[in-house]
A = this chain, B = another copy of it.
């Protein structure tokens, strides 16, 4: 369920939130322009996230037998460490060495937190979100199941919708004011934060629990994430956008959500290596 939420939040932020924002902004302005350098930095971060998520899954699928579960676990932990290192480096990049690329945003937002304070709040917020997410599942599940929705669909689509409501609202408001850099930073920024910080942090923290989580996503999740990243990078890579590109992101989201709607919960191939198996 946690992995389904991660996939859902990633795809939701990349396709639904960004798509709605670009579509809304594009309905008002013929061309939406944004800073190409910071968009390119996000784009390469998303590609690194893809590599970090694909390599353990592929390792799990192609490497044989006995030593696999332990090795997959070890690889997940190592990759998670690298992802967090990359996330910290991206903060350094955005706040120190290349802060000039992000100045438009910093005038809009409150920025007098120290790095330390910001980091602590980020950590607390992450844990709180995970906890609230659990509460949310517990309360949404009975209703949704009675409506005939599968657990998987709830995890990927419904929870991601509810959980990203804040990003959704603020990024659309930014796009409506033609502040596309702020809009991108919220939507793509949330996606990279989930991929490069929240997911690996959960993997690292989970080693202290009975059932550790790994970074092995199933084929459907991976391909959906990879294709989402490719279309988003295409849309933002040239530094400008319009309503049609926003609509395309929304349609892409519709296609992925429809597939999850049709998919039975058991459809997900088992990606949890059982330690006892052979």
Contacts and interface: CB of A to CB of B under 8 A. Distances in A.
Given A256-B55, A259-B55, A262-B74, A251 B85 contact: yes
* Residue among A51, A62, A90, A248 with max Cβ neighbours from chain B (10 Å): A51
Contacts of A37: 31, 238, 240
A10 interface: no
Interface residues of A, number: 72
Interface stretch (A103-111, A205-213, A225-233): A225-233
Nearest to A223: B58
A224 to B, nearest CB: 7
A234 B233 contact: yes
Nearest to A57: B223
A220 B251 contact: no
Interface stretch (A75-83, A158-166, A182-190): A75-83
Contacts of A248: 44-45, 47-48, 86
A259 B59 contact: yes
Interface stretch (A123-131, A169-177, A263-271): A263-271
A50 B227 contact: yes
Contacts of A36: 238
Given A41-B245, A231-B47, A238-B36, A56 B264 contact: no
Contacts of A266: 64
Interface in A73-125: 74-75, 78-79, 82-83, 85-86, 89-90, 93, 97-98
Given A44-B234, A47-B227, 10 more contacts: A40-B245, A41-B245, A50-B230, A51-B255, A75-B258, A82-B254, A89-B244, A93-B242, A233-B234, A234-B237
